[in-house]
Amino acid sequence: MSKPDIATLVKLQEAETEVVRLQEVLERVENEKNKLASRLKQFETALNENQEELERAQKACRDNELEIKTIDERIVKSNENLRNVTTNKEYQVLLREVDDNKKRKDALETELLELMDEREKSSGIVTESQKEYQMLEEQIRSEQAEIEKRSSEDRALLNEYLEQQEEIGKTLDPKLMDRFRRISKMNQGSAVTQASEAVCMGCFMNIPPQMYIEVQRGNELVSCPQCSRILYYGTIK
């Protein structure tokens, strides 16, 4: 490998380092957005539960009112029948029916008052929850938009480095590019690193003396025996 090839690999590594950094930044941004969305979803779930509770309370009131209406109709019918009975036994039976229905109606009306109170409380909770949800939704949408705005520059920069990588890659042997990618994947985006004072600056392990001399010469491709990174010596321009 010639020195210009090493210089090209160093440039490729610089682009790779920025690509990895920006991808991590954008991943954190996406996680932040997802957390905000999850927070809103949790609040939405709570709001739905409150609305379901209100619907149950409303249904309970309707059912109670319907039963009271039905009992009223029975009482009216029983009173009408009382005027038409011919025996004392029939009269006593109907009278007991009226009395039982009135007692049931009284109990239902007491229960209805409690149900209406629960319905009122549920309605207030839903109203308040809807207001809070709307405020939270506006806040989170605003925060997400701000996050997206901040990250747009990083996305554009990432695309630039990806294009730069592609252009640099075209000037290198495909086998070397494959090796670069493989080493980069092994080392979290670091495939090329400097060697200084017989130490690999990627894994900070010592390099054998003869190998370090070869790195200093820069006439061939040398990889760290520990981390497999491609090594170069000094400052590459």
- For the stretch 70-109, pLDDT in tens is 999 999 998 888 888 888 988 898 889 999 999 999 999 9
Contact predicate 191/13, CB 8 Å: yes
Based on the fold, state whether residues 135 and 40 are members of the same structural domain: yes
Contact predicate 183/16, CB 8 Å: no
Residue 105 confidence (pLDDT):
94
The single-letter DSSP state of residue 234 is S
Q: Residue 127: pLDDT above 70?
A: yes
Based on the fold, state whether residues 197 and 151 are members of the same structural domain: no
Based on the fold, state whether residues 162 and 203 are members of the same structural domain: no
Question: Which of 118, 138, 172 is a domain's end point?
Answer: 172
Q: What is the mean pLDDT of residues 164-169?
A: 94
Based on the fold, state whether residues 213 and 183 are members of the same structural domain: yes
| Dist CA 76 CA 79 (whole Å) | 5
Based on the fold, state whether residues 21 and 61 are members of the same structural domain: yes
Q: What is the mean pLDDT of residues 37-51?
A: 94
Mean per-residue pLDDT of the chain: 92
The domain of 85 spans 3-172
Based on the fold, state whether residues 168 and 221 are members of the same structural domain: no
Q: Residue 237: pLDDT above 90?
A: no
Alpha-carbon torsion, ordered 203, 229, 216, 221, to 10 deg: 160
Residue 1 confidence (pLDDT):
47
What would the two tokens of residue 95 be?
A: 């009278």
- Burial of residue 172 (number of CB atoms within 10 Å: 0-12, 13-18, 19+): middle
Residue 146 confidence (pLDDT):
87
Instruction: Summarize pLDDT for 52-76 with one digit per residue, the tens.
Output: 999 999 999 999 999 999 999 999 9
Based on the fold, state whether residues 190 and 207 are members of the same structural domain: yes
Based on the fold, state whether residues 18 and 65 are members of the same structural domain: yes
Indicate which CATH number applies to the domain containing 94. Answer: 1.10.287.1490
Give 210's pLDDT tier (boundaries 50, 70, 90): very high
Q: Residue 48: pLDDT above 50?
A: yes
* Number of domains observed in the structure of the chain: 2
Based on the fold, state whether residues 133 and 81 are members of the same structural domain: yes
Based on the fold, state whether residues 226 and 130 are members of the same structural domain: no
Q: Residue 236: pLDDT above 70?
A: no
Question: Which of 138, 153, 172 is a domain's end point?
Answer: 172
DSSP H or E stretch at residue 131: helix 88-170
Based on the fold, state whether residues 104 and 116 are members of the same structural domain: yes
Question: Which of 129, 149, 172 is a domain's end point?
Answer: 172
Q: Residue 147: pLDDT above 60?
A: yes
